[in-house]
Structure 1
Amino acid sequence: FYFIGLPGNTLSIVTILSMESISPATILVAILASCDIGALISKLALNRMINQNVYFGSVGCKLVNTLTLSFAMIANWTLVLICLERFIAVRFPLQKVYLATKHRCTVAAVTLSVFIAALASAFFVMLYDADDTGYVCVTTQMSGEMIFLTQLLFYVVFPLAFIAAFTSGTVMTLCAYQRQRRTMFRKRGWPDSETRQTTGNFKNNLLFARHERREKTINVLVIFTGVLFIVIHIPPCIFFLGFTDSYINEAKWYLTIIVHYLILDTSHILNFFIFFLTAGKFRK
């Protein structure tokens, strides 16, 4: 997973930054890829430290877990911002010019990242510590199951709800516009190429068509990414939120946690393949 995700997300950032024109959506996608890299590196480091039986200590437990959760949460909430930006662009195209500017999207992403990092730091400082040996991180104040469910809410459930809402709104708005366009052309007829070239400035029409194609590509990319996030994360959410603690299900609980973390790691990797498969310009 790590050896696929790290170069894939790095190539995503390089490709996005080398584009002729960078939109607010592409800036957020680059931030998402950066957070995916941070999440994969921190998880790889944590797994290696556990396997090598590295001494953590109190500070090490708090620091490593804070970094791991922060990058993963920031990646998920950045995807929420991406879906929100696309919803605004599709639902309010005129207001998008001043609502979703590059500066505002960047400030929103940075502010959200700082807030999440502070929240994760406070969470692990208060609730995590090393055991007497210093090699194992343990929970304090709350049970491990309660801490896991709390992480699940802020890490998966809340982002999942926002992503589902914004993605659904974007898809429904695009479908409504498509129906309106078909109805309009059915009444007025489709304009021929000669009419299109003689009405208005041909250069402006060409630039508008290029911008429209770019917006369409971003819409497809974001919709696919949002749908994939929903499909991957809904089953674990249903299981964990509906789980009842019992001795019979204890083994199933810990096994599913392991599978769940594998799924979460996969979500940081698959974004690159979505960019590659849905955007022809990205492949070139």
Structure 2
Amino acid sequence: MGDSNPYKDSVGNATVSLPIVAVLAYGNQSYYTPESDYESMMEVAFFLNKYYLWVVFAIGFPGNLSTIITIIRMRSLGSFTLYVVILAVMDNLAITLKLLIYQILQKKVNIGTSGCRTFQFFGNFMVSYANWVLVIMAVERLLAVKYPLKIQKLMNCKRSVLALSIVGSVIAGIYLPILWTAYFNEIQQTCCFDTSSAWLLSFLQWANVSMSAFIPFSVLTVCNLLIVRVIKESFRVRNALRSMQQTVGLKHKTSFYKYDVSVQRQVTIMLFTTTLVFVVLMFPLCAFKVADSRWKVEPLSNEYAAKYLVYQLSYMLCDSTHAVNFYLYFLSARKFRSHFLAMSSCATPTRAASL
């Protein structure tokens, strides 16, 4: 059995230290006998490594494209819908670029050092930025739940664009060292990193896994817990405001308020569902990264094969976060679902709505 170079893991995901396949690490595989289930588990891992990105692309690309078209046709671009569109665009770019570089390197195409640096930089940037757009959405939604009467003043499209720009600039700055440390290894026909500066390489590895996985996972977990905690209090405030409006006889405002509460509730459910699924799918990668250095395995052992299989499964789930959002929106947001179905059937929605 030959080695399988995990090219896609170098673009858009953190570098995870797995033991090299024994034929490379020990030079002569004939001295070692694989354990009983080693080959079968490795075959499964190699199969996932080779094909799962195609499945992610086939599910995620049309879904994200449908999200973009649906939101644009709703003709109501608030801060939340702006985030949804940007997230869908970045998800599509991330999975497309990742699949592209995987195919290029698998076919041994010489893309040169400039090509490696370009793919590495933008691949890592897009994955991390997509996850951080979701973080910004969750933080804003937490503020909306906690301070429902002030959110319109706190956040608008201009401030949302500013927040997106600042976060994007920070992420791009963190990944800038890639532009002078990555290079194309013509012997191995793959992208590598200059190891002469160990501290810089270590920084890039930890910055990558932190920006793309650990920090978004932690922030979204906290945001979800806080949203659950304060949502009842938020709804009590809204109900009190509605009662006050009814007392003074503002029937038309009460009607609008009911509609606004309905929309805000759908937005909260929609985002909570999306971030919860993100946390669930990202957890295996975070757990694997924490356990990686302590999980010692022997070459050609069943445990070695099991670790490599877990490694592939964790990245498969991680990459799936770029493919599932449309389907979560469709299931959790009635307004989004009605607009998409109306668009699909060439009908016109009876009432314009905002997410």
Q: TM-score range by the shorter chain?
A: 0.7 to 0.9
Q: What is the RMSD of the two structures over their aligned residues, measured on CA atoms?
A: 2.8
Counterpart in the other structure of 1:97: 152
Counterpart in the other structure of 1:200: 249
CA shift, 1:146, in A, is: 7.9
1:78 and 2:120 matched: no
Percent identical among aligned pairs is 24
Match of 1:162 among 219, 228, 232: 219
8 Å contact from structure 1 (residues 77, 159) kept in 2? yes
Match of 1:256 among 304, 307, 310: 310
For residues 1-284 of structure 1, the aligned pairs below 5 Å read 1-122=56-177, 124-133=178-187, 135-141=189-195, 142=198, 148-178=205-235, 200-244=249-293, 246-248=296-298, 251-284=305-338
Return the alpha-carbon distance in structure 1 between the equivalents of residues 89 and 328 of structure 2: 16
Return the alpha-carbon distance in structure 1 between the equivalents of residues 258 and 328 of structure 2: 24
Bigger proportion of residues as helix:
1
Return the alpha-carbon distance in structure 2 between the equivalents of residues 121 and 145 of structure 1: 14
Q: How has the CA–CA distance of structure 1 residues 51 and 237 changed in structure 2, closer, same or farther, with 3 Å as cutoff?
A: same
Give me the TM-score of the superposition, normalised by structure 2. 0.70
Moved more, 166-175 or 255-264: 255-264
CA shift, 1:252, in A, is: 4.7
8 Å contact from structure 2 (residues 285, 315) kept in 1? no
Return the alpha-carbon distance in structure 1 between the equivalents of residues 113 and 203 of structure 2: 21
8 Å contact from structure 1 (residues 83, 166) kept in 2? yes
One-letter code aligned to 2:330: F
One-letter code aligned to 2:264: E
Return the alpha-carbon distance in structure 2 between the equivalents of residues 59 and 235 of structure 1: 33
Return the alpha-carbon distance in structure 2 between the equivalents of residues 278 and 212 of structure 1: 16
One-letter code aligned to 2:74: M
Query: C-alpha deviations, 1:231-262, integer Å up to 9, x for none?
Result: 11112211211222635266555443332221
Query: C-alpha deviations, 1:255-277, integer Å up to 9, x for none?
Result: 43332221122110111111010
CA shift, 1:283, in A, is: 1.4
CA shift, 1:153, in A, is: 1.6
One-letter code aligned to 1:154: M
Query: C-alpha deviations, 1:167-224, integer Å up to 9, x for none?
Result: 2111211033457889x8xxxxx98xxx987852322222111111111110001101
Give 5+ residue unaligned stretches, structure 2.
Answer: 1-55, 339-355
Return the alpha-carbon distance in structure 1 between the equivalents of residues 166 and 72 of structure 2: 22
Return the alpha-carbon distance in structure 2 between the equivalents of residues 128 and 255 of structure 1: 27
Return the alpha-carbon distance in structure 1 between the equivalents of residues 309 and 223 of structure 2: 32
Q: How has the CA–CA distance of structure 1 residues 205 and 176 changed in structure 2, closer, same or farther, with 3 Å as cutoff?
A: closer
Secondary structure of 1:130's aligned partner: strand
Return the alpha-carbon distance in structure 1 between the equivalents of residues 205 and 161 of structure 2: 30
Counterpart in the other structure of 1:187: none
Q: How has the CA–CA distance of structure 1 residues 146 and 109 changed in structure 2, closer, same or farther, with 3 Å as cutoff?
A: closer
One-letter code aligned to 2:126: F
Moved more, 208-217 or 19-28: 19-28
Give 5+ residue unaligned stretches, structure 1.
Answer: 185-189
| Residues paired across the two proteins, number | 274
